Structure 1
Amino acid sequence: MVVTRRPTGTAQPHRFVALDSLRGLAAVGVVLFHLPGLGPVGNSALARSGYLFVDFFFVLSGFVIAASYGDRLAQGFSRSRFAALRLGRVYPLHIVMVGAYLVAAVAIMRPAFADGRDLTDLFRAILLLDGYALTRTNYYNGQSWSISVELLLYAGAAILMGRGRLGIAIAGVLAVAAMASLLSGWQVPVWSTNVQRGICGFTLGAGTFVLFRKGFGARLPAGLAEGATVAIAIGFLIWAEQIGTLRWLVVFPFAALVLVFARDAGPLSRMLATRPMMALGRWSYSIYLTHPFLLGLTGHLALMAGFATGRGGADPILARLILPEGGQTAVLLGYLALVVGVSALTYALIEEPGRKWSKRWAARWGAPGAERVAPTI
């Protein structure tokens, strides 16, 4: 659940229920991106642009970090403690997945340190450095490139939030420079496209919280605002293939989506507040990190069993299963069910214990009140 203090500064935490459920749907969108060739859903324009949902994660992250920690950092909350707490929230599942990839490589997808799986990549994964590279080809939990960028963004938030106009100015300059680099296609190591996407989304998300706290757009009819922002965001994603580097401007429709749904006021928000949608949001981080592993594992098992064609082609092995007509959609739905089921387990067995450990750690460091309302990103 995305949790933060109310913008009024009262003690009661505010739960952004709709935003949390939207995060779950965005995680499913990323999953669909990795299933090209699997029926009409996998081949849809929306699924082909599913990688852009990672930018929604960045926008949402900036929003809730600003909401949860912006004022407290300004009031002297320990910045080193904040950074350590954020690491404690994202690292446990990541390192478990790195271990799962290593075990799978040794047991099934051999050899472990060849064919793009060398020892350097393993250490790069363990240390969460993939986001700063110019390519994302790491076998060992390569999906965590965005987590490495998140950690950089948390460090930036710890430094700049609460610094007044100077912090705002520095963040603004970095965001403009990042967007200019994205639109031009320019990148160098460390200042990679990955980092640029993170800076743009996170900074815009933090600015969106400022607008939210000021009541921007609060008088608009909730149903109309929700429908319009959803339509604009989906339309942009469908159109993204046609517009080249302008696709990175998707952070603006995503920011509008966050601003509107943060109010939990309209009919779509009520739909997102249902138990299945809330569960999807709760398991979203696990969905995001586990699905590439499950895709590779099930695909290789199918190949070994003779149910799939050879390794050629860019599509995942599951898209090359020997199936009757219409069977690809059934495989896609079955794979989604597998991912959600496994993610429910990893949430209960890894994420939730990690959060509790993080709270105990915070209590020992003298920050229990802050962590009780810390967001889960």
Structure 2
Amino acid sequence: MNIKPGNELITKPHYPILDGLRGIAAIIVVTFHLTEPLGTGHLDILVNHGYLAVDLFFLLSGFVMGYAYDDRWNKMSVGSFFKRRIVRLQPMVILGMTLGAIGFYFTDSAIWPLIHTVPLWKMLLVLLIGYTILPIPLSLDIRGWQEMHPMNSVGWSLFFEYIANILYAVWIRKFSKTALSILVVIAAIALAHLAITNGDVSGGWTLNVEQVRIGFTRTMYPFFAGLLLSRVAKPAKIKNAFLWCSVLIALILYMPRIGGAQHLWMNGLYESICIIIAFPLIVYIGASGVLQTKSEYKICKFLGDLSYPLYLVHYPLVYFYVAWISNHNGITIIKAWPYALVILIGSVALAYATLKWYDEPVRKWLRKKFA
């Protein structure tokens, strides 16, 4: 049993450390996207493994999903489950896509030549599809990056998150621990094969056969490994878990590329170990952690509350930053870091503002309406 600040007892423990870790990973995602345009490819990005935060998000989601819903199905329908998930996820999806659309015509860069030829009706059509989080076909690619969500690139992971939610609610929630373990082992083998043969797991954001395969492979193992972990783990009491887990996440995501262009398999092996072994271990330690002060709780709560809005609102700002980089050839990290810092701070401020003035009020209203 957990005790929150103020000593209010709750019958089902919450995992504030896991919320805090989600926030840490979200901030690192922003730093990854800010250093990505300064590299020439996967081999030399400064925050080289920042994209693995998405795989950690999937694992955290699976763990929380099992913990929150596994014991509710005797009094909850599939329909009510989907209502809960839509209320939780869709308000920020809609806002994130809207912000991306507002900025679409205000970015001026040679890397997006299509922007200046896109009629308003086509942009609005892509926006409306984006509101549903369904992917667009390549024929509607209005930015030229072959993204399934040109208004807000990170929408691809929400698309696969929804698919995992659907699979869980309709089918996989009924699996025994043995059946779920078999599924997780098969998914782990598929993930390791993808990572080692490709050199990394990066991908999943384009609506074609290869990228959709990557997206499914990246989703299936971590999400359902998280679900399995929620069913079999028996958390202990670990002190300073938030600190140690945060350090581990930072070390993993900031690790430089391994093996170079000559030995791609080495990096793939590293990422396989991180996703298959290290991330579940981090989640277990986080779930076992004990917060000893109110300050620790407040930090974890702030980071957890901020994580999802930050993930959805930062990329519309990153588009402006990427355009600026592309319009100034030869920009180095030395010259770019003040602008990157402004985008990072601005993203955090925008995320907090949208959390308090939009996301929380809208979700509260929707809960009352659906109730």
2:320 to 274, 288, 297: 297
Superposition deviation, residue 138 in structure 1: 3.8
Taking structure 1 as reference, are residues 37 and 208 closer, same or farther at Cα in structure 2, changes over 3 Å only? closer
Aligned to 2:100: 101
Taking structure 1 as reference, are residues 174 and 346 closer, same or farther at Cα in structure 2, changes over 3 Å only? farther
Within 2, Cα distance between the matches of 1:273 and 1:343? Answer: 21
- Asked whether the 8 Å contact 2:184–2:221 carries over to 1, the reply is no
- Bigger shift: 88-97 or 126-135? 126-135
- Asked whether the 8 Å contact 2:47–2:256 carries over to 1, the reply is no
Superposition deviation, residue 298 in structure 1: 5.5
Q: State the one-letter code of the partner of 2:239.
A: A
1:353 correspondence with 2:369: no
Superposition deviation, residue 45 in structure 1: 7.0
Q: State the one-letter code of the partner of 1:250.
A: C
- Cα deviation, 1:335-359, whole Å, max 9, x if unaligned, reads 2211111111111122102321342
Structure 2 unaligned residues grouped into runs of 5+? 3-8, 109-114, 139-144, 202-207, 259-265
Pairing 1:185-196 to 2, within 5 Å after superposition: 185=198, 188=209, 191-196=212-217
Aligned to 2:267: 244
Within 2, Cα distance between the matches of 1:272 and 1:35? Answer: 30
Within 2, Cα distance between the matches of 1:132 and 1:244? Answer: 31
User: Percent of pairs identical after alignment?
Assistant: 24
1:310 to 306, 320, 327: 327
Aligned to 1:16: 15
1:149 correspondence with 2:170: no
1:273 correspondence with 2:296: yes
Taking structure 1 as reference, are residues 89 and 226 closer, same or farther at Cα in structure 2, changes over 3 Å only? closer
- Bigger shift: 50-59 or 290-299? 290-299
Aligned to 1:369: none
1:200 correspondence with 2:221: yes
Superposition deviation, residue 232 in structure 1: 5.1
Q: State the one-letter code of the partner of 1:257.
A: I
Pairing 1:110-259 to 2, within 5 Å after superposition: 110-111=115-116, 113=118, 121-122=126-127, 124-130=129-135, 136=147, 138-159=149-170, 160-164=172-176, 168=180, 171-172=183-184, 175-176=187-188, 178-179=190-191, 182-183=194-195, 184-185=197-198, 188=209, 191-212=212-233, 214-215=234-235, 218=236, 222-223=239-240, 233-239=249-255, 241-242=257-258, 243-246=266-269, 247-251=271-275, 252-259=277-284
Within 1, Cα distance between the matches of 2:310 and 2:229? Answer: 26
Q: State the one-letter code of the partner of 2:228.
A: G
Within 1, Cα distance between the matches of 2:13 and 2:46? Answer: 32
- Bigger shift: 235-244 or 180-189? 180-189
Taking structure 1 as reference, are residues 175 and 102 closer, same or farther at Cα in structure 2, changes over 3 Å only? same
Could you list the structure 1 runs, at least 4 aligned residues long, displaced by more than 6 angstroms after superposition: 43-46, 117-120, 131-134, 225-228
Superposition deviation, residue 22 in structure 1: 0.9
Within 2, Cα distance between the matches of 1:169 and 1:230? Answer: 27
1:90 correspondence with 2:114: no
Q: State the one-letter code of the partner of 2:284.
A: L
Equivalent residue pairs, number: 328
Taking structure 1 as reference, are residues 350 and 340 closer, same or farther at Cα in structure 2, changes over 3 Å only? same
Superposition deviation, residue 171 in structure 1: 3.9
Pairing 1:334-349 to 2, within 5 Å after superposition: 334-349=342-357
1:25 correspondence with 2:24: yes
Superposition deviation, residue 21 in structure 1: 1.1
Q: Specify the SS of the correspondent of 2:257.
A: helix
- Cα deviation, 1:54-99, whole Å, max 9, x if unaligned, reads 11111110011100001112x2421121022202211111122222
Superposition deviation, residue 140 in structure 1: 1.0
Within 2, Cα distance between the matches of 1:69 and 1:27? Answer: 24
Q: State the one-letter code of the partner of 1:90.
A: L
Give the RMSD, CA atoms, in angstroms.
3.9
Q: Specify the SS of the correspondent of 2:209.
A: coil
- Asked whether the 8 Å contact 1:16–1:262 carries over to 2, the reply is yes
